[in-house]
Structure 1
Amino acid sequence: MTDQRRLLIVEDDSTFARTLQRSFERRDYAVWVAQGPAEMEAALEEAHPGYAVVDLKLGSASGLACVERLHAFDPAMLIVVLTGFASIATAVEAIKLGACHYLAKPANTDDIEAAFGKAALGDAAVPIEGRSTSIKTLEWERINETLAETGFNISETARRLGMHRRTLARKLEKKPLR
């Protein structure tokens, strides 16, 4: 087994993490699982992975910080970000911080491996959607963008958006970040 087949999964959903781990192990990857940033740091020294799969929302922590740390650890590492709610703002930030791809859940091992394979290539054939973005979608993307800027601090996000903290909390309850 080469260093290129060493994978670190940073995911707080232990059931999903175990499922991914088993699936990648069947494909001859050596796999380490971390539930958050602290466990990720410990696993990095042992694993020295060539690949990483990072959940965007890790409990109260941001997966974007993990992406930044993984990229600093090894700029050649291929990092795929998974999220239950994809937004343009978080996708752009993930790529800027060093991710090679960004996938919305549900994603399976085939999707993730395909994302690793497309790391150096763009896809000019991706269809451009001609429909306009709804007000609700624009609002949600602005909320996500501001959440990312504030490190997922609800009070500071509400202040920057000019809304009451409880109003923002209610909006987030309707469509939780994952």
Structure 2
Amino acid sequence: MDPSDEGSSGKRSDGQIPVPAPVMEKKKKMMKTKMVRFTQAQINNCIAYKEEEMPDYDSMPSIIEILSDDLANCPQDYIDELKTIDDSREEDKTFWIKMQNEIRDEREWILRQCFTKGYAEYEVDIDDDDDEDNKVPARVAAPPGRRRFRNGVAVKKNLSLSGGGSVRKI
């Protein structure tokens, strides 16, 4: 039987293809942004940061060249894995350069803000829906005084006028 013959009824009988269920849209989360200041310690770390030197990938010898004598006894999949490591050096080099540029740009941005305004700020996304769902009621404050008793110690209150009580061990 053809599913187009089914019509808009959405009912299913044996041998027919079911009509897809309507798609339920999730609520969009309300995202707010808030400006937060960097702490003075974070700014000091930014000022004191020294760039790391990039490893010299060009002068590094190939792993296959170094281990050429030992590779004769190794399985082919091991040799292929070493070749992929050698080939990934160029990717590592470009990744290293990209990360250094991002760190340098962010550092310059923070220092520029700090020197122009006297402080630096960054944006933080705040999710309001999660705050409402995860709210826990505040705990009731504990009553003043001793809260726990020690095992093996009993306090016998003295009802005399001298006051106080005596402690005896059980």
TM-score strictly above 0.5? no
- Which is richer in helix? 1
Highest Rg: 1 or 2?
2
TM-score (norm 2): 0.17
TM-score (norm 1): 0.17
